Structure 1
Amino acid sequence: MKKILFATTALVATAGVASAEIAITGSAEIGILGGDGLSAIAGAYGNNTQFHTDIDVNFSMSGTADNGLTFGASVDLDENGAFSNTTQGGETYFIASGPFKLSMGDTDGAFDAALTEIGIGGSIDDAHTTHAGYNGNSGLDGTYDGQIATASYSASGFTGYLSVEIDDTGTGDAVYGLGFKYAANMAGLDLSVGLGYQTTDTNGGAAGGDIDIWGISLATTFSNGLQAILNYSDRDAAGVSTTYTGIGLGYSMNALTIGVNYGEFDTAGATTNGYGLAVNYDLGGGLVAQFGYGAEDLAGPGGTSDQWSMGLAMSF
């Protein structure tokens, strides 16, 4: 059935424009999960053990103009609000020429694009990365409707990013972002350094709406399968500063991957932290056995919570 689907897709793609391509990819998950505690991560399961299923289909389209300009779009059918012009929901678009690229839609802003997340490995419901000590490096992305325009330039291991997210209501200032990433191999060591900054005023110049964030990440991969990632960021909202420090460690050997991460937020001396664990075994052919665990310690009445999951992740 899948071969017939791809053959039909290719035929439709080539019938209109010879240089156009359409690809269909997908993923699915089955397993079991649970949690314990009072916070949001455990509350999502009602503190009860239950089955988990999920499926995702992605359509990607690309083409090349007569002058060599490349262009494309993709849509994730697992996202809500797809094809919406007001609330972003899984569709992205791009135009590229040589080292220059412009992406719009459900894409990363400059801060997120430049920094590397500390999560290593996977779990069927992201149990290892949804604890309160995890920072996905989203920065100020999603401050408004999530429609982002990001321009990038890449050359010799260096990539620079500029991004904008606009308030469609006209109330707040746009979110402006600037980011830089450099990746290189030094004596067998893969090294990636990222630096990002974003700023906005959600009150459009009125007092109390200023938000700024800057962050840095360092990621290394050793020849023996070890991996280490460090994150640090400082967010200032209306004069209140929140710092974040996170670390991720991983090890891969043959089909086995193990990843652990820990992160901590500090706001005026009040801390929130959490840690996660992922264990993956690649069964081949796009099938991976996954176990995930996450736990957190909240500042305030939320107390401690944890969540876990185990199952199979499929990619097509």
Structure 2
Amino acid sequence: MKKVLFATTALVASAGIASAQGVSIGGWAEMGIVGGGVYGDEVQFWTDIDVEFRMSGETDNGLTFGAGVDLDENGAFAGTTQGGEFIFISGAFGTLTMGDTDGALDWALSDVGMGASIDDAHTSHAGYNGNNVMDGFDGKDGQIARYDYSFGDFAFAVSAEIDDSGVDDPTFGVGATYATSFGGVDLGFGIGYQAASGPGFDSSAVGASVDVMFAGGFHAILNYTSYDDVVLGSGLVVDSHYAIGLGYTTGAISVSGNYGMFEGTGDDSQSGFGLQAAYDLGGGAEVQFGYGYSEMDMGGVTTDTDQFSLGVAMSF
């Protein structure tokens, strides 16, 4: 039954490609092994597939519009779709995006995680901050509306996320970026603010990042965020987060490392580091290794765990 449904879906998709300009299908697949404390200290096989549908068009007066859907793993055909979708319209006025997209804070700040590993081991540790703590905050569904506009080396964005239940106030955000070059070094600066409120809480985050690309393949990113009345999923009442990422690429080889810490109230904290290495085989295939180490210090009790992965990632 699944094979028939997949074949039917493929035929419909192929017909769409043949008849509609600006429709494409891509994606990636991963295979390898994973292990470490996160996986119960057992080495396990790992496979993952993501199919990406992208559509775009243009109006008579020059506006561009488009949408995208990600189907994470072939379980989507059995009614267990995972992934997200977004829709945008863009013109001289800027770009409006709605759906599974970044809030203004996340949009503006650079992540310290560089490169890739098949299970994201190097960016799954307890100290890693993807700058999206305020997206989907307090149970919101992650459906975000963001407007962004660029002029020269500057760009800014504003975003909003609504609580569908009507209990909490909307989450609002604003962010700005600036890019420049100096002496052969490319510099990127980002700053952002996001706030959410509701019965019993008034939460906010303000952060900044510096992204430096040196000649010769060296890359460095610094990131800092201050939080107010924000509780992480781990239960940590977080005050601030700081992180650093370093990377180097030469030919087909890339390596990187990152470290981050969430500082909480009192002496509570959670931190970790990640390591990554990859070798590009060409044609969209890459051998990837990842490692992540996490440490939790809560109520005077310290615990730690780790994870690793090794495998091949394929992009299509």
Q: TM-score range by the shorter chain?
A: 0.7 to 0.9
Matches of 2:264 and 2:74 in 1, distance apart? 33
Matches of 1:299 and 1:9 in 2, distance apart? 53
Residue 181, structure 1, aligned to residue 208, structure 2: no
Which of 107, 116, 121 is 1:127 aligned to?
A: 121
Which of 252, 261, 269 is 2:249 aligned to?
A: 252
CA RMSD of aligned residues (A): 2.4
Query: For the structure 1 residues 88 and 193, does the alpha-carbon distance in structure 2 shift closer, same or farther, using more than 3 Å as the test?
Result: farther
Q: Which letter does structure 2 place at the counterpart of 1:113?
A: W
Contact 2:48 2:73 (C-alpha < 8 Å) held by counterparts: no
Range 184-193 or range 243-252, more displaced = 184-193
Q: Which letter does structure 2 place at the counterpart of 1:263?
A: G
Aligned twin of 1:266: 263
Contact 1:139 1:198 (C-alpha < 8 Å) held by counterparts: no
Contact 2:34 2:307 (C-alpha < 8 Å) held by counterparts: yes
Contact 1:81 1:89 (C-alpha < 8 Å) held by counterparts: no
Where in structure 2 are there 5+ consecutive unaligned residues? 1-10, 232-236
Q: Deviations 1:69-98 (Å, cap 9, x if unpaired)?
A: 11110000118999xxxx995010000002
Query: Following TM superposition, by how much is the alpha carbon of 1:186 offset from its aligned partner in structure 2, in angstroms?
Result: 1.7
Q: How does 1:181-220 map to 2 (within 5 A)?
A: 181-203=177-199, 208-220=200-212
Aligned twin of 1:10: 17
Matches of 1:223 and 1:238 in 2, distance apart? 39
Query: For the structure 1 residues 222 and 174, does the alpha-carbon distance in structure 2 shift closer, same or farther, using more than 3 Å as the test?
Result: same
Query: Following TM superposition, by how much is the alpha carbon of 1:8 offset from its aligned partner in structure 2, in angstroms?
Result: 4.8
Matches of 1:235 and 1:284 in 2, distance apart? 42
Contact 1:111 1:139 (C-alpha < 8 Å) held by counterparts: no
Contact 2:73 2:82 (C-alpha < 8 Å) held by counterparts: no
Matches of 1:254 and 1:283 in 2, distance apart? 11
Query: Following TM superposition, by how much is the alpha carbon of 1:113 offset from its aligned partner in structure 2, in angstroms?
Result: 0.3
Query: For the structure 1 residues 88 and 305, does the alpha-carbon distance in structure 2 shift closer, same or farther, using more than 3 Å as the test?
Result: closer
Contact 2:52 2:70 (C-alpha < 8 Å) held by counterparts: yes
Q: Deviations 1:132-158 (Å, cap 9, x if unpaired)?
A: 010011031012111000000011121
Q: Deviations 1:27-53 (Å, cap 9, x if unpaired)?
A: 0000000012xxxxx1xx232110000
SS in 2 for 1:299: strand
Residue 234, structure 1, aligned to residue 234, structure 2: no
Which aligned runs of 4 or more in structure 1 are off by greater than 3 angstroms?
4-10, 79-82, 238-241
Q: Which letter does structure 1 place at the counterpart of 2:50?
A: D
Q: How does 1:162-181 map to 2 (within 5 A)?
A: 162-181=158-177
Equivalent pairs counted in the alignment come to: 293
